[in-house]
Amino acid sequence: MRFDIITIFPGFFSSTLEYGILSRAIGTGQVEVAAHDLRGFTHDRHRTVDDRPFGGGEGMVLKPEPIFDAVSSLGISPKAERDCSRETVILLSAQGRPFTQALAHELARMERVVIICGRYEGVDERVNEMLCDQEISIGDYVLSGGELAAAVIVDAVVRLLPGVLGNPDSARFESFGADDVAEPKDGVTGPPRTTHGSGGLLDYPHYTRPADFRGTTIPEALTSGNHEEIRLWRRRMSLQKTMQNRPDLLEGTLLSEADKRVLRELRASDKRRHDLIDK
C-alpha cells in the first residue's frame, strides 16, 4: 500500500514515520509513504500556493493549480476514470466526513491513497469537486493544517494492514472493533472468546502486573480463571465506559437484552451515586 501526502511542510512527517509501527511497516516494505512539497508545483519565483478569497473575508485560500499539478504528477487516474476500489484522493478539512474506524478499514483495502493537506482558511472548492473522492475531518475542531490529520489517518490505516501488528486480533478486538463472535465448528457455535470484542463500543479497561499497586488491586473477575466470568466483566466494563465517555455510540450499536439490562443497572447505580452527592 502507498500513501502520497501533498503538503507545504513535507519535513513535518520525517519524525512521524521514523518510530513504532509505521517505521517497521515501511522498513519491511508493507507500506510506502511519500510527502510531496506543494511549492514544488508552483510556477512563479515566489512559489505562491495561496491567494485571497473571492467575495472577501479573512485568511488565504490554497490555489487549485499547484494541487492539480501535484496530483497529476503522481500518475493518479482522473476522477471520472478512477477505480475507487484501488485508489482514492482525499482532501482533509474541517468540513469533511468524520474519520472513523470503519472508514480506516475502507482505506486499508486500497492500494494507493493520496492525501491533500489543507492550510490557511481552506482549499479552493474546485479541488474537492473536480479532483477528490472524499473530504475527511478527524474531529469537530479546527487545526492549523492537515498535516496532523494526515499522520493520524496513515497511522490508523497502516496498523490494520495484514502482518503489520504482531497479533492480528489486536486490531480486531479493541475500541470500535469487531464483535466477539466465536467461530462455529461443525455447525455448532464455539465457546466465547476470553477477549471480548467491543462490537462498536469502547474497549474495556486493561490491567497488568503487579496485581496490587499502591493498595489498588485488579478486579477479582480477572483472576478467576473463568473465561465466561471474564467475558461478562469485560462486556460490562465496555458498556460502562461507553456510557460514561461516548453515550452516542450506544445508539448505533446492536445491543443484546443482556446488554440492555446491564445498562439499566449502570444507569440506576449512576443515578444513586449522583443523588448521594447532591445530598
Note the pLDDT tens digit of each residue in 228-240: 999 999 999 999 9
Beta-bridged to residue 189, according to DSSP, are 184
pLDDT of residue 198: 65
More confident residue, 47 or 15: 47
CB pairs under 8 A, 24+ apart, for 263-272?
263/239, 266/236, 266/239, 266/240, 267/243, 270/243
Separation of alpha carbons 237 and 243, rounded Å: 10
Q: Is the pLDDT of residue 111 over 50?
A: yes
Let me know how long the chain is.
279
Q: How many CB atoms lie within 10 A of CB 49?
A: 21
Residue for grid cell 496532523 = 148
Q: Which amino acid is at 67?
A: I
Q: Is the pLDDT of residue 188 over 80?
A: no
The distance in angstroms from the start CA to the end CA of the chain is 59
Closest C-alpha among 100, 94, 95 to residue 249: 100
The whole-number average pLDDT for the span 211-216 is 94
pLDDT of residue 66: 97
Q: Percentage of the chain surpassing pLDDT 90?
A: 77
Q: How many CA atoms lie within 13 A of 208 on its CB side?
A: 0
What's the pLDDT tens digit per position in 40-87? 999 999 999 999 999 988 899 999 999 999 999 999 988 999 999 999
Q: What's the mean pLDDT when you consider all of the chain?
A: 89
More confident residue, 199 or 136: 136
According to DSSP, the β-strands at 184-185 and 188-189 are antiparallel
The whole-number average pLDDT for the span 240-263 is 93
Structural domain spans, the chain: 2-168, 178-278
| CATH topology agreement for domains 2-168 and 178-278 | no
Closest C-alpha among 31, 35, 21, 29 to residue 150: 35
pLDDT band at 200; cut points 50, 70, 90: confident
pLDDT band at 189; cut points 50, 70, 90: very low
Q: CB within 8 A of 22, min separation 6: which ones?
A: 16, 31, 33, 154, 155, 158
Fold topology of 178-278 = Trp Operon Repressor; Chain A (1.10.1270)
Q: Is the pLDDT of residue 121 over 80?
A: yes
pLDDT of residue 102: 93
CB pairs under 8 A, 24+ apart, for 264-272?
266/236, 266/239, 266/240, 267/243, 270/243
The whole-number average pLDDT for the span 235-260 is 93
Cell readout for 97 is 466526513
- With beta carbons less than 8 A apart as the criterion, state whether 58 and 121 touch: yes
Separation of alpha carbons 144 and 220, rounded Å: 47
Q: Which CATH number fits domain 2-168: 3.40.50.2000, 3.40.50.2300, 3.40.50.300, 3.40.1280.10?
A: 3.40.1280.10
Separation of alpha carbons 157 and 110, rounded Å: 10
Q: Is the pLDDT of residue 191 over 70?
A: no
Q: What are phi and psi of 123, to 5 degrees?
A: -125, 140
pLDDT of residue 195: 41
Handedness of CA 187, 189, 193, 198 (dihedral sign): positive
pLDDT of residue 137: 96
Q: What are phi and psi of 132, to 5 degrees?
A: -100, 150
Give the predicted TM-score (pTM) of the model: 0.82
pLDDT of residue 97: 95
pLDDT of residue 274: 81
What's the pLDDT tens digit per position in 157-185? 999 999 998 655 555 555 665 544 444 44
Sheet with strand 50-51: strands edge to edge? 50-51, 61-62, 122-123
